[in-house]
Amino acid sequence: MYRPRLVALVLVLAFSVSTAYASSFANNMVGEPYLQPMELSSHRSVTGTVMGVRSNTVFLRTDEGTIRTIGMKEMQRDGMSSIQAGDQVDLILDRGNSVLAIAPPRGTGAYIGDEVTGTVQRFDIQNKQIALKTKDGNIQTIELRQVVATKLNGIGKGKAVSLEMDGHNRAFDAYRAD
Protein backbone atom coordinates (compact mmCIF):
# COMPACT_ATOMS: atom_id res chain seq x y z
CA MET A 1 0.00 0.00 0.00
CA TYR A 2 2.77 2.45 0.90
CA ARG A 3 5.30 0.98 -1.51
CA PRO A 4 4.10 2.86 -4.68
CA ARG A 5 4.12 6.16 -2.76
CA LEU A 6 7.60 5.47 -1.41
CA VAL A 7 8.93 4.63 -4.87
CA ALA A 8 7.37 7.81 -6.29
CA LEU A 9 8.91 9.90 -3.50
CA VAL A 10 12.37 8.40 -4.10
CA LEU A 11 12.11 9.09 -7.84
CA VAL A 12 11.06 12.71 -7.25
CA LEU A 13 13.93 13.24 -4.83
CA ALA A 14 16.45 11.58 -7.18
CA PHE A 15 15.32 13.82 -10.05
CA SER A 16 15.57 16.93 -7.86
CA VAL A 17 19.11 16.11 -6.70
CA SER A 18 20.31 15.23 -10.21
CA THR A 19 18.91 18.51 -11.55
CA ALA A 20 20.50 20.53 -8.74
CA TYR A 21 23.99 19.13 -9.40
CA ALA A 22 23.78 18.75 -13.18
CA SER A 23 25.78 21.88 -14.03
CA SER A 24 28.62 20.94 -11.69
CA PHE A 25 28.68 17.43 -13.15
CA ALA A 26 28.56 18.77 -16.71
CA ASN A 27 31.47 21.15 -16.04
CA ASN A 28 33.58 18.30 -14.74
CA MET A 29 32.68 16.15 -17.75
CA VAL A 30 34.25 18.70 -20.14
CA GLY A 31 37.48 18.76 -18.14
CA GLU A 32 37.09 22.02 -16.20
CA PRO A 33 38.31 21.68 -12.63
CA TYR A 34 35.88 22.49 -9.86
CA LEU A 35 37.44 25.14 -7.63
CA GLN A 36 36.08 26.02 -4.21
CA PRO A 37 35.53 29.67 -3.28
CA MET A 38 38.22 31.10 -1.01
CA GLU A 39 37.44 30.96 2.69
CA LEU A 40 39.48 32.74 5.32
CA SER A 41 39.57 29.59 7.45
CA SER A 42 40.90 27.33 4.68
CA HIS A 43 44.53 27.69 5.84
CA ARG A 44 46.33 28.38 9.05
CA SER A 45 49.88 29.32 9.86
CA VAL A 46 51.97 27.78 12.62
CA THR A 47 55.56 28.42 13.58
CA GLY A 48 57.88 25.48 13.94
CA THR A 49 61.27 25.29 15.62
CA VAL A 50 63.79 22.84 14.18
CA MET A 51 64.67 20.19 16.76
CA GLY A 52 67.19 18.46 14.50
CA VAL A 53 67.95 16.99 11.08
CA ARG A 54 68.50 13.24 10.67
CA SER A 55 68.62 11.16 7.48
CA ASN A 56 67.40 14.08 5.32
CA THR A 57 64.37 14.55 7.58
CA VAL A 58 63.77 17.79 9.49
CA PHE A 59 62.07 17.41 12.88
CA LEU A 60 60.02 20.44 14.00
CA ARG A 61 58.15 21.29 17.20
CA THR A 62 55.25 23.59 16.37
CA ASP A 63 53.95 26.39 18.54
CA GLU A 64 50.90 24.15 19.03
CA GLY A 65 53.13 21.57 20.73
CA THR A 66 53.05 18.94 17.98
CA ILE A 67 56.04 17.31 16.30
CA ARG A 68 56.14 17.50 12.48
CA THR A 69 58.60 15.99 10.03
CA ILE A 70 59.47 17.54 6.69
CA GLY A 71 61.81 16.12 4.06
CA MET A 72 65.01 18.07 3.48
CA LYS A 73 64.29 18.13 -0.28
CA GLU A 74 61.00 19.91 0.43
CA MET A 75 62.79 22.45 2.64
CA GLN A 76 65.41 23.06 -0.06
CA ARG A 77 62.71 23.47 -2.71
CA ASP A 78 61.24 26.20 -0.50
CA GLY A 79 64.57 28.03 -0.42
CA MET A 80 65.96 26.86 2.91
CA SER A 81 69.05 24.90 1.93
CA SER A 82 70.83 25.16 5.25
CA ILE A 83 68.67 24.45 8.27
CA GLN A 84 69.84 23.56 11.75
CA ALA A 85 68.51 23.03 15.26
CA GLY A 86 66.94 26.18 16.69
CA ASP A 87 65.92 27.70 13.32
CA GLN A 88 62.29 28.73 12.97
CA VAL A 89 59.99 28.34 9.96
CA ASP A 90 56.38 29.19 9.18
CA LEU A 91 54.19 26.33 8.00
CA ILE A 92 50.94 26.92 6.13
CA LEU A 93 48.57 24.03 6.79
CA ASP A 94 45.30 23.19 5.09
CA ARG A 95 42.20 21.96 6.91
CA GLY A 96 43.54 18.41 6.84
CA ASN A 97 46.82 19.51 8.49
CA SER A 98 48.85 18.88 5.32
CA VAL A 99 51.76 21.27 4.79
CA LEU A 100 51.08 23.54 1.80
CA ALA A 101 54.05 25.88 2.11
CA ILE A 102 57.14 26.49 4.23
CA ALA A 103 58.94 29.81 4.65
CA PRO A 104 61.23 31.62 7.02
CA PRO A 105 59.20 33.28 9.78
CA ARG A 106 57.39 36.52 9.02
CA GLY A 107 59.46 39.62 9.34
CA THR A 108 62.43 37.96 7.62
CA GLY A 109 61.48 38.98 4.07
CA ALA A 110 59.37 36.04 2.90
CA TYR A 111 55.64 36.53 3.35
CA ILE A 112 53.09 33.82 2.74
CA GLY A 113 49.54 34.78 1.96
CA ASP A 114 49.65 37.27 -0.90
CA GLU A 115 46.88 36.68 -3.41
CA VAL A 116 46.84 37.09 -7.20
CA THR A 117 43.49 37.15 -8.99
CA GLY A 118 42.90 37.23 -12.72
CA THR A 119 41.62 35.43 -15.80
CA VAL A 120 43.57 32.56 -17.30
CA GLN A 121 45.45 33.43 -20.47
CA ARG A 122 47.63 30.33 -20.66
CA PHE A 123 48.10 27.20 -18.53
CA ASP A 124 51.12 24.90 -18.86
CA ILE A 125 50.88 21.85 -16.61
CA GLN A 126 54.22 20.43 -17.83
CA ASN A 127 56.20 23.51 -16.75
CA LYS A 128 53.84 24.21 -13.83
CA GLN A 129 53.04 27.76 -14.93
CA ILE A 130 49.93 29.83 -15.44
CA ALA A 131 49.56 33.26 -17.03
CA LEU A 132 46.82 35.46 -15.57
CA LYS A 133 45.49 38.78 -16.79
CA THR A 134 44.99 40.86 -13.64
CA LYS A 135 42.44 43.64 -13.09
CA ASP A 136 45.00 46.29 -14.07
CA GLY A 137 45.40 44.60 -17.48
CA ASN A 138 48.88 43.17 -16.90
CA ILE A 139 49.70 39.57 -17.77
CA GLN A 140 51.50 37.85 -14.91
CA THR A 141 53.15 34.43 -15.32
CA ILE A 142 53.14 32.49 -12.06
CA GLU A 143 54.99 29.33 -11.08
CA LEU A 144 52.76 26.66 -9.53
CA ARG A 145 53.55 24.03 -6.95
CA GLN A 146 52.83 20.52 -8.27
CA VAL A 147 49.69 20.21 -6.13
CA VAL A 148 48.24 23.42 -7.61
CA ALA A 149 49.16 22.45 -11.18
CA THR A 150 47.28 19.19 -10.68
CA LYS A 151 44.32 21.00 -9.10
CA LEU A 152 44.10 23.37 -12.09
CA ASN A 153 44.51 20.65 -14.73
CA GLY A 154 42.04 21.33 -17.53
CA ILE A 155 41.31 24.96 -16.64
CA GLY A 156 40.30 26.93 -19.70
CA LYS A 157 41.33 30.30 -21.04
CA GLY A 158 39.20 33.13 -19.64
CA LYS A 159 38.37 31.34 -16.39
CA ALA A 160 38.67 33.59 -13.31
CA VAL A 161 40.94 32.22 -10.60
CA SER A 162 42.57 33.38 -7.33
CA LEU A 163 45.97 32.03 -6.36
CA GLU A 164 47.57 32.14 -2.92
CA MET A 165 51.28 32.78 -3.10
CA ASP A 166 54.17 31.62 -0.95
CA GLY A 167 57.28 33.57 -0.02
CA HIS A 168 58.96 32.59 -3.30
CA ASN A 169 56.12 33.87 -5.54
CA ARG A 170 54.80 30.39 -6.29
CA ALA A 171 51.14 29.53 -5.99
CA PHE A 172 50.46 27.05 -3.19
CA ASP A 173 46.66 26.97 -3.58
CA ALA A 174 43.97 27.98 -6.09
CA TYR A 175 40.35 29.06 -5.69
CA ARG A 176 37.41 30.17 -7.76
CA ALA A 177 37.46 33.97 -8.09
CA ASP A 178 34.07 35.32 -7.05
Each residue's pLDDT tens digit, 84-107:
899 888 887 777 777 777 877 655
- DSSP three-state, residue 146: helix
What does the alpha-carbon distance between residue 79 and residue 94 come to, in Å, rounded to a whole number?
A: 21
Mean residue pLDDT across the chain: 78
Q: List, in order, residues 6 or more apart from 78 with CB less than 8 Å away.
A: 101, 102, 103, 166, 167, 168
Q: 1 pLDDT exceeds 90?
A: no
Domain boundary among 80, 103, 126: 103
Residues 120 and 99 in one domain: no
Q: What is the pLDDT of residues 109-149, one digit of tens each?
A: 445 567 899 999 999 999 999 999 999 999 999 999 888 88
Residues 121 and 81 in one domain: no
DSSP 105: P
Q: List, in order, residues 6 or more apart from 20 with CB less than 8 Å away.
A: none
Domain count, the chain: 2
For the chain, the maximum distance between any two Cα atoms, rounded to a whole number of angstroms, is: 75
Its domain, for residue 157, covers 113-176
Residues 61 and 84 in one domain: yes
